[in-house]
Homo-oligomer: A and B are copies of this chain.
Amino acid sequence: MPSEGYVPSFKDAAGHDNAVRAHALITRPRVHPRAAQRARINSAPIATQMRFSRNQTIFSEGERSTQFYMVVSGAVRICNYIRDGRRQVADFMFPNDYFGILPYPDYCETAEAISDVVLMRYAHPAMASLEDQQGSNALSQYSLEFRRHLLQLLLRRVRAMERHLLLLGKKTAQERIATILVMLSERLANTRGELFEIPLSRRDMADYLGLTIETVSRGMTQFKRKHLIEIPAPHHLVVTNIRALYALAAGMGKAA
């Protein structure tokens, strides 16, 4: 979603050419030719294809943040933990989404594979220029373009997180579940009323919504009984009345 429009699919195998193409991707076509050339000259691949299996950790909070990722296929959850194991999922990443982009010295969140997942990993070009406090000669055209992109991603992220705060702080269980169903439907279904697959488990949904799996399950069966959705299988969904779900998600669940 953040990078819609200029992110081609990476169906082909990883390799040097792929790395260069990935580089061009980040900087977009407008990049100065010199930058792309430099990447080739360095001959260090800046993008690598990686695979993670279900529930594997991609990176953990506190690790040094020197790379960021894009989802090629599968799904990833971004989460934070308290000592005793309580987990809060902050976001879900689906194909073409970037994550781990925060050029903090360390990651402030944990990324885990929801399903088997294929990722592209990039070196973090912003790191050097952000950390160097000497001057701006390190800020090449490359990092400038990258920053524009990064900024947009961060802005969308902040906006999404504010909606998430509202959900967790003020919405009822029904409203929360309606919200995530709308989100998933918008993100994962191609057409309205279509059957689509939800890679998330009930636990993933619950930990995103600040609820328990039982409450999520109950809410979904309620929607099923009201004929707002159909659940052919736990990981398959049809939204039959998206308007009603929208209304609930927008806050009509309290009055009713």
- Residues of A whose CB lies within 8 Å of any CB of B are 30, 80, 82-84, 86-88, 90, 102-104, 108-109, 130, 135-136, 139, 141, 144-145, 147-148, 150-151, 154-155, 157-159, 161-166, 168-171, 207, 209-210, 250-252, 254-255
Q: Which of B30, B86, B109, B255 contacts A162 (CB 8 A)?
A: B109
A161–B169 touching, CB < 8 Å? no
- List B contacts of A162 (CB < 8 A): 80, 88, 90, 108-109, 161
- Can you spell out 20 A-B residue pairs with CB atoms less than 8 angstroms apart? A30-B135, A82-B250, A82-B251, A83-B250, A83-B251, A86-B166, A86-B254, A102-B159, A103-B155, A104-B155, A104-B159, A136-B141, A144-B144, A147-B151, A151-B154, A165-B165, A168-B169, A168-B210, A169-B210, A170-B210
Q: A80-B165, A158-B158, A159-B104 known; A88 and B151 CB under 8 Å?
A: no
C-alpha spacing A165/B209, complex, angstroms: 10
- List B contacts of A254 (CB < 8 A): 84, 86
B170–A90 touching, CB < 8 Å? no
C-alpha spacing A62/B252, complex, angstroms: 21
CB distance from A250 to the nearest CB of B (A): 6
A170–B88 touching, CB < 8 Å? yes
CB distance from A112 to the nearest CB of B (A): 15
C-alpha spacing A207/B168, complex, angstroms: 11
B87–A170 touching, CB < 8 Å? yes
A158–B102 touching, CB < 8 Å? yes
C-alpha spacing A156/B88, complex, angstroms: 19
CB distance from A107 to the nearest CB of B (A): 10
- List B contacts of A169 (CB < 8 A): 88, 168, 207, 209-210
CB distance from A63 to the nearest CB of B (A): 15
- List B contacts of A84 (CB < 8 A): 251, 254-255
C-alpha spacing A170/B83, complex, angstroms: 12
C-alpha spacing A166/B254, complex, angstroms: 24
